[in-house]
Amino acid sequence: MGCLKKLVLASFVTAALVCGALLLLWIWLGVEIIPNQVRDPRTLQDRSFDYIIVGAGTAGCVLANRLSENPNVTVLLVEAGDTFGSASIIPLISTAMQGTKYDWAFRTTPQKYSSHGLGNNQQLLPRGKGLGGSGQINYMLHFTGIPEDFDRWERLGARDWNWRGMKPYLDKLNHPAAAGDQDGDDDVLQDCKQEELTGEELYENYFDHLNLPLFVSINATASVTMDKVLSVDSIRQYLQHGRGVLSTTAIAGIGSPRGGRYGIILFGMGSVDEQALRHVSNMEEDTFRAFFPSYQNTSQEGFLFLSTCHQPASRGGIFLRDRHIDSVPFFNPNYLKDRSDIGCMIQAIRLAARTVRTDAFRSIGAHLHWPHIKRCSNFGPPVNNSAEQPSDRYLECILRTSALTGHHPGGTAAIGLHSEAVVDNQLRVNGVHGLRVVDASVFPAPVSGTPNSVLIAVAEKASDLILQNSN
């Protein structure tokens, strides 16, 4: 028995040493190796470069990597931010970097048609500030779009950016799984490995997705709770194997396999941290507590359904505040300005309600919580039974009160042939020699999901266009 105790103790000590060594290696890489690759831009003042890329975000890193494959070409990648910390590679907690020095921390202007339950009617617009950009502070969801998304781009004037033109670049991101035609899960997306350095309307085609969170309680032990997240075992699983609750954020969306107009995403978070979530959502206290009734219960089992409209019709714009380079522009997405978005979102909400009533969800005691919003009481009280349905007018009210940005802005420098288009089909800025735009602002319309992987494909295609032009 004594030998067994020693063996068990030795196993625990070994595991602790392994975890400790991994953690120290992680910290050393973040503190010593990566920063040493960043050059002081003052040392390069007298040098010239073939290409200068402003912004080391998702697209900037891909461009720098591809353009510098030719050893005879010089590329300067300029980034205002720093290298990201280790939290950026842990899916469940990467969003904790929002609101920190790694975030530009933009806000919308006070919204007229939405966000009435948020502080000053404003949505927070986190944008990554550092090497990797917003791809370092998102939920790390991989989605490569559907054919209809890109064929819509072509109809809007983006010639050669249709599904046929984009598919080769999207295929580079995937190693398809054996079954089905959906994205596989065995891909490895390459990081940027280069040597990095650290009033007036622009275009009224600003679009973004909105999500309405609805809490569903369950009786089964199946979700991510705060107690599980903070457990020693969850940290050990992630450090040793890259698995466990820290490696997850959400599961695949529910909706039409061809995309459709709307859909829902199941987000596996049972209990939530009020201070943390309000910090990243800007929800007022009464709004937050209406949507998350178990906010004080750190072991609550459940999940969120995020209802969304894939192709919102509302459009806004970005406006210059003044002529000073450091001034933050005005961001006005005009969420829910177009009433068709309300109808689309309501259909998504009702899809979530129908899903909860299926046998599979009933078997785990799923119960959808309809939020009690005071400002919406004039449109009828919310139902207490999840099998019943609130009125469309009530759902519209909670949408205009509490729907949150999906963090997928774009469209303000859209590709096109019309007179208002900012860039042509080669991504060259109209009327300016030697300048191209390669980021989500060139999307003529949203993609029906998260855009980061699509942006990588756009940057891959942009690299080919640039290299073909240089030849």
Distance (Å, rounded) from C-alpha 211 to C-alpha 303?
15
Q: Which residue, chain included where needed, has tokens 């290298």?
A: 83
Q: Which of 245, 239, 241 is nearest to 227 (CA)?
A: 245
Judge whether 84 and 140 are in contact, CB under 8 Å. no
Give how far Cα 410 sits from Cα of 126, 205, 315, 446, 462, Å.
14, 8, 10, 7, 17
**Can you name the CATH fold of 206-410?**
Glucose Oxidase; domain 3 (3.30.560)
Tokens of 220: 């089964």
Judge whether 286 and 274 are in contact, CB under 8 Å. no
Q: What is the pLDDT of residue 177?
A: 43
**pTM for the full predicted model:** 0.80
Q: What is the pLDDT of residue 75?
A: 95
pLDDT tens string, the chain, 471 residues long: the values are: 444 333 333 333 344 444 444 444 444 445 444 454 566 777 787 889 999 999 999 999 999 999 999 999 999 999 999 888 766 666 666 667 888 899 999 999 999 999 999 999 999 999 999 999 998 887 777 788 899 999 999 999 999 999 999 999 999 987 544 444 444 444 334 444 333 333 444 457 999 999 999 988 887 664 444 444 444 454 444 444 444 444 455 554 555 555 578 998 887 665 666 777 788 889 999 999 998 877 666 666 778 889 999 999 999 999 999 999 889 999 999 999 999 999 999 999 999 999 889 888 888 888 899 999 999 988 876 766 555 689 999 999 999 999 999 999 999 999 987 777 899 999 999 999 999 999 999 999 999 999 999 999 999 999 999 999 886
Residue 350, classified by CB atoms within 10 Å of its CB into exposed (0-12), middle (13-18) or buried (19+), is middle
DSSP letter, residue 33: I
Q: Which of 365, 361, 347 is nearest to 307 (CA)?
A: 347
Q: What is the pLDDT of residue 304?
A: 84
Q: What is the pLDDT of residue 397?
A: 97
Sign of the alpha-carbon dihedral angle for 303, 304, 305, 310: negative
Q: Which residues 6+ apart lie within 8 Å of 162 measured at CB?
A: 150, 151, 153, 154
Q: Which residues 6+ apart lie within 8 Å of 289 measured at CB?
A: 274, 295
Q: What is the pLDDT of residue 148?
A: 95
Q: Produce one character per residue of 321-346: b if its CB has 16 or more CB atoms within 10 Å, e if not.
A: eeeeeeeebbbbbbbbbeeebbebbb
Q: What is the pLDDT of residue 184?
A: 42
How many residues comprise the chain?
Answer: 471
Q: How many CB atoms lie within 10 A of CB 64?
A: 22
Please give the distance of CA 239 from its chain centroid, rounded to a whole number: 24
Judge whether 404 and 345 are in contact, CB under 8 Å. no
Distance (Å, rounded) from C-alpha 66 to C-alpha 207?
29
Q: What is the pLDDT of residue 433?
A: 93
Distance (Å, rounded) from C-alpha 258 to C-alpha 452?
19
Distance (Å, rounded) from C-alpha 160 to C-alpha 373?
47
Q: What is the pLDDT of residue 92?
A: 60
Tokens of 427: 């991504």
Q: What is the DSSP string of 407-455?
A: S--B-TT-B-SSTT-SB-TT-BBTT-TT-B--SGGG-SS--SS--HHHH
Helix locations, 357-426, DSSP H? 359-362, 392-402
Judge whether 156 and 445 are in contact, CB under 8 Å. yes
Q: How many Cα atoms sit within 13 Å of 455 on the Cβ side?
A: 27
Q: What is the pLDDT of residue 28?
A: 44
As annotated, the active-site residues are: 408
